[in-house]
Structure formats: C-alpha cells, structure tokens
Amino acid sequence: MNTKIFIPIVFAVLLAACNKGNVLDQVQTTDLNEATTFSDSARTLQFLTRIYTDLNLSASPQRLGGSIGIYSIGDEVESNLQSGTAYNIIFQTGAVSALNIPTDAWEVSYANIRRVNVYLKNLPNTPLSAALKRRTEGEARFMRAWYYFIMLKHYGGIPLIGDAVFTPTDEIPGKRATFEECVNYIASECDAAAALLPLSYSGLDYGRITKGACLALKSRLLLYAASPLFNGRTDENDHGVLGYPTPDASRWEKAARAALDVINLNQYSLMEIDSPPGYGFQKVFVTRKNNEYILAYMTGNNRTLENMWDPATRGGNGSSMPYQELVDAFGTINGKPITEDLKSPTNPNGYDPANPYINRDPRLAYTILFNGGTRLDVNRTVTPVYTYVGAAQDGFPITKTGYYLRKMLDENTIASTTSSPTERCFPLLRYAEILLNYAEASNEIGDINTAYAQIKAIRKRAGINPGDDGNYGLRQNMTKDEMREVIQNERRVELAIEEHRYWDVRRWKIAERVSNKPLHGMRITRNGDTYTYETVVIRTPVFVAPKWYLWPIPQGEINKSLELEQNPGW
C-alpha cells in the first residue's frame, strides 16, 4: 500500500469518530455522521484505512511504551528502561495484575472490530464500484479476524459480537465464547475474506491485504489451536473458554493443511542471496517490496529501529540488549548446536569458546551486534562496535548484556541524519513463518520428512553449510521429539524479535521451564589483543504457572459486565 495514503490520510473527524472505546463500554463510541462519510468514496476508503493503522498493535516494537515490545518481556532482550513502572519490569518481576495489565489488546482490538462492523453495514450503500466493494469487504473481514486473533492469543475465548454495531442504549453481551467457537469464527472469516481478495497488488495498492494474508493468518490460528496450551485444556469451571476440553491430534493435520494452502499459492518464496552467506535473511527486512512478506505494516522511509536499537556510537539509544540465551540459540555455520560442534584441527568451522562469534550461523551477525561486529558510523564508514568492559560509549555495563540488537537494521542507515532513511516495513506475516508452521504441524502428525524439507530450506537461505549429506546440520533419522526441539529452536532463531517467541513458549506450554531461570549476558574484558568471556546473570524473571499462560482481562472491563468472567488465578 502506498505510504502516502496509509498513515496520514485519516481526517480528524474520523479519528474522533472512531474513538478507542471497546465492546463492553456502554458510552457512545462515535459521533461520526455515517451518511456523510459513506456517501463519499474517498471518505469511505479513508475509514477503511483507519482500521489498517493498528495492524501492528501486538507486534509493534514500541507497543508497551518507549522502546518496549513483547520481545522485552520474555527471554529475548533486556530493556534499558529499569523503572518499576516500566512494563518490562512489571512483567519480569511478577508485578503484573489485572489492574495494571496493558489494555490495548482488548480496547484497541474491539474498537477496530466495531469499525469493521460499521464499514460492512454501510458498504452496500456506498458509491464504490462493485469490484471495490467486494475487495474492501474482504480487507475489512480479514482485519476483523486479525483483531480477534490478537485477543484470542492474549486471553483465550472472548465475546464474539458478529456484525453488531451497538448503540449507547443497547445491552452489550459480555459472555465469552468458547475457544472452539472463536477459532471456528476466525477461520471462517479468513476463508470468506480470501474468496474476495486478489493474490497480489501492484502500484499504489501494494501492501493491502491479499488472499495469501488470509490463508497465512488461518495457518497461524490453527497452529496455535493445535498446540499443547489449547489442545486439551481442562481448567475447573472453564466450559471450554480457555481451550478445547478434549485433545485431538487431528488438529495438527488441519494446521498442516492450512500452511500448505499458503505454499500452494505459489506466490511467495524466501529471499535468497548467496553472497555473503545468508544475506537474503538480512536484506528481506529492508526491502519494501519482496516475495517473502505476506503482510507488512507499511510505513514511510524511516530510521525508527536504528534510533531505538543502535548503540551510542551510531547515534542510537541502545535500548534493547539481547540475552546470552538468544545468542547461544544460534548454532555454527555447520548447522550444529555450539555445544556439539567444537572447533578442532579436523573441524576448523566449529565453535571456538575463545572466539565465540566466528564460524556461527550467519543469522547471528544479522540479528545480534556483538563485540567486534561492524556497523556504519556517523562518518559513513563501516567500523567495529566494541562492547567489552570500559569500551567508550558502547561497552559493558552500558550494554547490560554485552550485546545490542542488529536485526532488521539497514546496513546503510543509522540513527544519525548523516545517513539516508531505510524503506523498511515491519513484518507481520512472512513466508519463513509458514514453512516453520508446516514443519511443526507435519512433525506432530508423524510426517518428519516434510519437516526436514522445510527446515533445510530455511537453513539453506540462512547460509548454513549443507554438509556432505545435504542436511544442513540436521541429524538423520530424528525422532518426533528430537525434531520438535529442532523446530522450536529454529523458530527462536529465524523469527527472533518478531513477536513469536513470547507466544511460542506459551502455546508449547514450556514457559514454566524456560521463563523461571536466570537470563545472562556476556562480560568481556580486554587485555591487549586478547578477550576473555564471562557469562553473568542479568535477571531471573518470574513466571507463575498456570495462570500466566494467558493474560488477565483488564479489571476495568470485568467491572463493566456481570457476564464477563476473568481468567483463572487473576
């Protein structure tokens, strides 16, 4: 979608008219003159565009204030914000409650669902052409499904309001639908929207929702639905709101088919650039139009992430500092875990603890800025960044973990205005995720060969050595359990900082194992040309099972309806 019409076009009257109320708010949420808006084709499309502007609600790297995204409240990065009122601290110290939980997933989602319903109610009487009515109906229905899914992953089952547009005098239902009802509704909306939408766009419409986006959302939805957190949940007095009461392995089959439906569109591919190794993994994030993005949050040319993530020597805030656990998840250039592939005279490409950032999966250098890693500087020269103890401006403990974020940063852009902005758009759905979805679901139904094929494709693009067996470091004849661990780590590496990890450890129901242990950084000391490396504890987060597998519904919403039940334990 052309950025000139994406963000700035929303008139003040539309913003006021679409005030961020929610479905359980009995106060009127609009003073919009619907007749005036929907009798004009331009205003009609502006109204639809307003719904687009919150698509990055859940994945935004600035979602929780300042430079705090979902990645800041899990096991990916330490934020430089350390106030007791900062959301990363509230979550990681266990201080979160129904009274202080962020309300955006509920309020903004329902506000946009209401906008969709207003749009669909008025669409038949607009002056839009028949073709445009059909297409924009599909866009609107996809976005309604998108916002419902955001709530589903946060809370479990939520109230479904269909096409209703409530007035101030209406009795608004607060009864939560079952998890199964929500999944079925979202999936059906994805199917209906897909039938109305084209495979692709060009020109000014590039970036709008396509058939592929609908099927990709359905793939993500059904993968979540098949996962252990939801596939057989028997909480007391739950009535099926938090998940399917009875586990069913066939849900993995549905998830596999949904991912394959996207693949079979033949519209998408991994961006592959062979030199330097894995460069396609870097380039895809700073290329506005590419065949790997299925849906992106379209923005104008910007330095947003460079401002947030680059270290001080590059003019940035250095706000997000990856934990050692994320660094260690990246294997070697041979595709092996660093614990299993040590450097030796017969294995020169193995992991070297004395020089830990060489011979690594190329995605590491494109994701993490480590000691000696290079970045453009304010003089427009590519120079090393140093994070060892006492290194000027960027060193430990200025970086609390010994690292800075590198992922999605443009190699030709830094925070300083001495560089040009990048055309980067933030990924919401990309093809690599679909391949990983397909691998995971296929493995769970016993089709391990299909899982192998997807992981090998991901690793080939990453620049990992194929090896004599062409398996890109994957052991032959793995069991389902072994392959599951590989897939989970592959998602952690490939999809890092894209909002997946936080939800993955929950849907896999492993958060109580991985989110209660110390998180580390790397303290590097320099003696001449020699570095020594010492892992140090940065923090030990808190995770209380089982209640923290889902967010509490904000208490203010619970107070508005006797029908609306809070999640267990909150």
Long-range contacts of 554-559 (CB under 8 A, 24+ apart): 554/98, 554/101, 554/103, 554/106, 554/107, 555/97, 555/98, 555/99, 556/103, 557/22, 557/24, 557/103, 557/106, 558/98
Domain assignment present for residue 351? The answer is no
State the residue range of the domain holding 142. Answer: 1-53+103-197
Burial of 272 (0-12, 13-18, 19+ CB in 10 A): middle
**Amino acid code (one letter) for 524:** I
Cα distance between the two ends of the chain? 41
Domain assignment present for residue 115? The answer is yes
Please, what's the b/e burial string for 192-210 (b: 16 or more CB within 10 A of its CB; e: otherwise)? bbbebbeeeeeeeeebbbb
What CATH number does the domain containing 17 carry? 1.25.40.890
Domain assignment present for residue 383? The answer is no
Which residue stretches of the chain have pLDDT < 70? Answer: 1-32
Residue whose token pair is 């200025």? 398
- For the chain, the domain total comes to 1
Q: Answer yes or no: are the C-beta atoms of 413 and 310 closer than 8 Å.
A: no
Domain assignment present for residue 178? The answer is yes
Question: Rounded to an integer, what distance in angstroms lies between the CA atom of residue 436 and that of residue 253?
Answer: 15
Question: Rounded to an integer, what distance in angstroms lies between the CA atom of residue 13 and that of residue 32?
Answer: 7
- The per-residue pLDDT for 21 is 40
**Token digits for 33?**
């003159």
Domain assignment present for residue 395? The answer is no
Q: Which residues pair with 321 in a beta bridge?
A: 78
**Amino acid code (one letter) for 534:** E
pLDDT tens string 315-358: 999 999 999 999 999 999 999 999 999 999 999 999 999 999 99
- The per-residue pLDDT for 171 is 77
pTM: 0.94
DSSP secondary structure code for residue 361 in this structure: -
- The per-residue pLDDT for 139 is 98
- The per-residue pLDDT for 32 is 60
Domain assignment present for residue 308? The answer is no
Q: Answer yes or no: are the C-beta atoms of 428 and 555 closer than 8 Å.
A: no
Domain assignment present for residue 39? The answer is yes
